Chains A and B, each alone.
Chain A
Amino acid sequence: MKTSLAALLSGIVFGLGLAISEMINPARVIGFLDISGQWDLTLMLVMGSALAFTLIGFPLITRKAHPILAEKFTLPTKKTLDLPLISGAVLFGIGWGLAGLCPGPAIAGLASLNPGIFLFVAAMIAGQFIGLQLEKALAR
């Protein structure tokens, strides 16, 4: 219960952040990615200020014995720079560049009730299922 409340609160803060920073707006994202057009550096300010908190905070927090509401930290364990990592980033980059939407802004954007966002999120979920099957096939 406590963990769910904490996650709910974090989700609300994240969603507010995406809306206030306008990262929820594909036009802002494409404006940043379009370096030969009328460049919009807002996305860089967003990533920079988010990283200012996480770069300093993460090492301080993981120094603790355990998180406040859990027995241990659950952090990614993979270390290798492998083909799935790179090819996944390439596919994601193409999709991101085509629509200006990545998972966080797309999900938060559902609050707009825009049908296009629902279409994108449905396709993204289908894409994750395909990705899971590909992962299984590659692991064999």
Chain B
Amino acid sequence: MIEPNVAGGLIGGSLIGISSLLMLLLLGRITGISGILTGIITWNKTDGLPWRAAFIGGLILGAVLYQIIFGRPLPLQMQADGVMLVLAGLLVGMGTRLGSGCTSGHGVCGIARRSPRSIVSTVTFMAVAVITVYLTRHVLA
């Protein structure tokens, strides 16, 4: 087993939960990052373009602040490159659009709303991702 980052995981996860609570309490919105992104790329001016752009900007700013506060680069070890990265990006974009959400919207917020759609989605994408990793790293590799 790889040594888990227990403190970072618990603190970081709590911050993610608190951020989702803030969005619901203040804006009445689900913190679904794929959905927030869709609203920006379709340039839908009638559906909260400013707050969407502000949230996405904040997401990047938070990662910038991490580097300033802790004085070290972001932890980042890429696991794919080139064509594989493009293919993965296309699948994540298509899948989150068709499936109405990703790890944040379905996984963190939807489950908290006890939404059957979100529970089914989360179980499905987790299981498929586990199978994908198994096939690509242990069977085909």
Contacts and interface: CB of A to CB of B under 8 A. Distances in A.
Nearest to A88: B99
Contacts of A106: 89, 92
B96 A86 contact: no
Task: Identify whether the interface residues of B are mostly helix, strand, loop, or mixed.
Answer: helix
A47 B20 CA distance: 12
B10 A45 contact: yes
Contact of B14 (A36, A50, A80): A50
Contacts, number: 498
B73 interface: yes
A45 B6 contact: yes
Contacts of A50: 13-14, 16-17, 20, 108
B103 A102 contact: yes
B66 A8 contact: no
A86 B124 contact: yes
Contacts of A5: 54
B34 A103 contact: yes
B69 to A, nearest CB: 8
Interface in A2-27: 3-27
Contacts of A100: 79-80
Given A33-B133, A95-B89, A128-B41, A8 B103 contact: no
A7 B4 contact: no
Given A7-B51, A46-B9, A128-B34, A37 B95 contact: no
Interface of B: 1-6, 8-31, 33-34, 37-38, 41-42, 48, 50-67, 73-81, 84-100, 102-104, 106-113, 115-117, 120-122, 124-134, 136-138
Closest 5 CB pairs of A and B: A15-B62, A11-B58, A127-B93, A88-B99, A21-B12
